[in-house]
Amino acid sequence: MIDKKGKPESAVMAIAVNDKGEVLMSTEPNTRKIQNLSINPLSSIIVGGLDSPSVQLDGETIIASGAMAQEVKNQILAIHPDTADYLSATSVFLKFTPKWLRYSDFSQNPPEILELDL
């Protein structure tokens, strides 16, 4: 995410991935990510690391509202019911749609790297 001055920012988040490949998340309304996404919905996500395969995703994050917010919440809870205790009455729900993906596995030689435009 990028703030209004163009400075990139990141945050650790719990995620759920639905059957469409969308990444679903929740946060609180007073966070930097909500402020930044209100200005610019373009965002990136990285899952994994050097000791395991990783996936980098670039795309767009929607701050869900109304029926979409309830749908995202329901999908998160269906995938990770144990997260129910972390959601509050003020939770904001996000839906990230990837547009580009890079899969990397550096545990092999040569590394396996695959890039896709989605």
User: What residues does each domain of the chain span?
Assistant: 16-117
Residue 15 CA to residue 83 CA, distance in Å, equals: 10
Query: Which one-letter DSSP state was computed for residue 19?
Result: T
Instruction: Classify 14 as helix, strand or coil.
Output: coil
- For residue 1, is pLDDT > 80? no
Instruction: Report percent pLDDT > 70 for the chain.
Output: 100
Q: Which residue has the tokens 């890039």?
A: 115
pLDDT of residue 67: 98
Cα–Cα dist 45/110, whole Å: 24
* Integer Cα distance of 108 and 54 in angstroms: 13
Predicted confidence (pLDDT) per residue in 17-72, tens digit: 999 999 999 999 999 999 999 999 999 999 987 788 999 999 999 999 999 999 99
Q: Of the given ranges (6-10, 17-21, 57-61, 113-117), which has the lowest mean pLDDT?
A: 6-10
Check if the beta carbon of residue 55 is closer than 8 Å to that of residue 96.
Answer: no
pTM for this prediction: 0.90
- Sorted by sequence, the CB contacts under 8 Å of residue 89 that are 6+ apart come out as none
Contact 9, 31 (CB under 8 A): no
Q: Answer whether CATH 2.30.110.10 is correct for domain 16-117.
A: yes
